[in-house]
Amino acid sequence: MSDDDTARRRAALRALLRRPLLTAESDPEELVLVRRYQAELRDWLSRETGWRLQVHAESARLFKTAPTLDDGTHPARGKAGEPFGRRRYVVLCLALAALERADAQTTLGRLAEEVLNSAAEPDLAFPFTLDSRAERSDLVAVVRLLLGWGVLRRVSGDEESYLSATGDVLYDVRRVVLAVLLTGTRGPSTVTAAGFEERLAELTDEPVPDTDDLRNRALRRALTRRLLEDPVVYYDDLDDAERAYLVSQRTAITRRIEEVTGLVTEARAEGVAMVDPDDELTDVRMPEQRTDGHVTLLVAEYLSARDGAGWDELVAFVRDAAERHRSFWRKGVTEPGAAEELLGIALGKLAALRLVEVLPGRVRARPAIARYAVGEPTVRESRRATQ
């Protein structure tokens, strides 16, 4: 394979890792690359991660599975960046179920009726009425998420008119995209567990290997997934078998990832991180500009010199920083409650990057946060040329 082919195949894989669902409408150039190299991509992904790749004329879907089932640090987000809460996730599921039964076109009003009817079913009895603007905003946030995914295509109207009760919106329902959203390893109808956690585990359950070769392959796939998905993989977060395999096979695993993705290995005493020099394969960037980015960097620096800190201590630190930087930060940062809000945003980013662990009333610093420590400057005397 030529250098140009290698670069283009790498770009195709990076596009899939960044956006596991590509559509001809939103990602035309990336989709062309994925279609061109689909055989090589499918082979590598199947061998190294166990993930499936499905490619059609109008879409490409990488069926990724999360490394763990208890990570809530990367939620779906609304137009203003606000994280989805429980109600929005339920509305999203109800909207997808309604779209599965919908005609080729639907309106926001009709979709709202279907969601309300489903929410009122005795087996669910979910308290959702659309009587308040907040509930209508939740529905609109869900619809905009589906627009971003390519499940819906807006034909006429806009969501703001629906929010103000002055109009409706017409959409095309793109079934080819809707059909590939679910990423579980088995169909939901085959899940028999009762509790949520048990049902989720069953939905993503994979066969237990029964030979040493299969067990090693399963370990390699699981660790490769984590290295591709998690900002840092700490040895302490792995079970004994995973830890032993990563320690012994780290060089081989990371080399294969580097070759096809362009990521760079950062081997640390406490674990391994795959760093993206182009800063593309992440939904949380650090450092960032503007107020939230500056606060996050200051909190990281503060915690890098400590094992952790209490909530009240960190609030006081952010409040003091807001006073010092008020002329550069956005308006209102010194108002009552602003420090708590800024700290919450900063800790959300740091937790998503595996730099802190947020506990009740306290924040624990994780080892990789040491990269944000500020040391004393070293002044070196320049040497004068001698004759």
Residue 386 — very low, low, confident or very high, per pLDDT cuts 50/70/90? very low
Q: What is the pLDDT of residues 278-296, one digit of tens each?
A: 888 888 887 788 999 999 9
Cα torsion 82, 85, 88, 93 to 10°: value is 120
Q: What is the pLDDT of residues 11-31, one digit of tens each?
A: 999 999 999 999 999 999 999
Strand partners of residue 59? 23
pLDDT reported for residue 377: 57
What is the phi-psi region of residue 279: left when phi exceeds 0, alpha when psi lies from -120 to 50, beta otherwise? left
pLDDT of residue 171 exceeding 50: yes
Location of structure tokens 């107020």: 291
Residues whose CB is less than 8 angstroms from the CB of residue 316 and which lie 6 or more positions away in sequence, other chains included = 339
Residue 381 — very low, low, confident or very high, per pLDDT cuts 50/70/90? low
Q: Both ends of the chain: CA-CA distance in Å? A: 54
Q: 81 or 171: which carries more pLDDT confidence?
A: 171
pTM of the model: 0.86
Residue 274 — very low, low, confident or very high, per pLDDT cuts 50/70/90? very high
Phi, psi of 104 (to 5 degrees): -65, -25
Q: What is the pLDDT of residues 341-378, one digit of tens each?
A: 999 999 999 999 999 999 999 999 999 998 888 765 55
H or E element in which residue 320 lies: helix 311-325
What is the phi-psi region of residue 8: left when phi exceeds 0, alpha when psi lies from -120 to 50, beta otherwise? alpha
**Mean pLDDT throughout 219-224?**
96
pLDDT reported for residue 303: 96
pLDDT reported for residue 282: 82
Percent of the chain past pLDDT 70, that is, above it, reads 96
Torsion sign over Cα 103, 57, 149, 119: positive
Give Cα separations from 311 to 36, 317, 318 (angstroms): 51, 10, 11
The length of the chain is: 387
CA distance 50 to 225: 9
Give Cα separations from 331 to 188, 290, 292, 327 (angstroms): 48, 12, 12, 9
Peptide bond into 367 cis (omega under 30): no
Average pLDDT across the chain, whole number: 91
Token pair listed for 57: 């004329």
CA distance 16 to 311: 38
pLDDT reported for residue 384: 53
**Mean pLDDT throughout 143-149?**
95
Residue 59 — very low, low, confident or very high, per pLDDT cuts 50/70/90? very high
Angle 290-294-297 (CA atoms, 0-180°, nearest 5)?
145
pLDDT of residue 326 exceeding 50: yes
**Mean pLDDT throughout 183-208?**
84
Strand partners of residue 356? 365
pLDDT of residue 385 exceeding 60: no
Torsion sign over Cα 33, 42, 229, 203: positive
Q: What is the pLDDT of residues 233-244, one digit of tens each?
A: 999 999 999 999
Residue 379 — very low, low, confident or very high, per pLDDT cuts 50/70/90? low
pLDDT reported for residue 387: 43
- For residue 369, the tally of other CB atoms under 10 A from its CB is 23
CA distance 123 to 94: 13
Q: 163 or 144: which carries more pLDDT confidence?
A: 144
Cβ-contact 299, 318 below 8 angstroms: yes
Q: 69 or 23: which carries more pLDDT confidence?
A: 23
E-assigned strands of the chain? Answer: 21-23, 52-55, 59-63, 105-107, 152-156, 170-173, 233-234, 264-268, 271-275, 308-310, 356-359, 362-365
pLDDT reported for residue 252: 96
Residues whose CB is less than 8 angstroms from the CB of residue 134 and which lie 6 or more positions away in sequence, other chains included = none
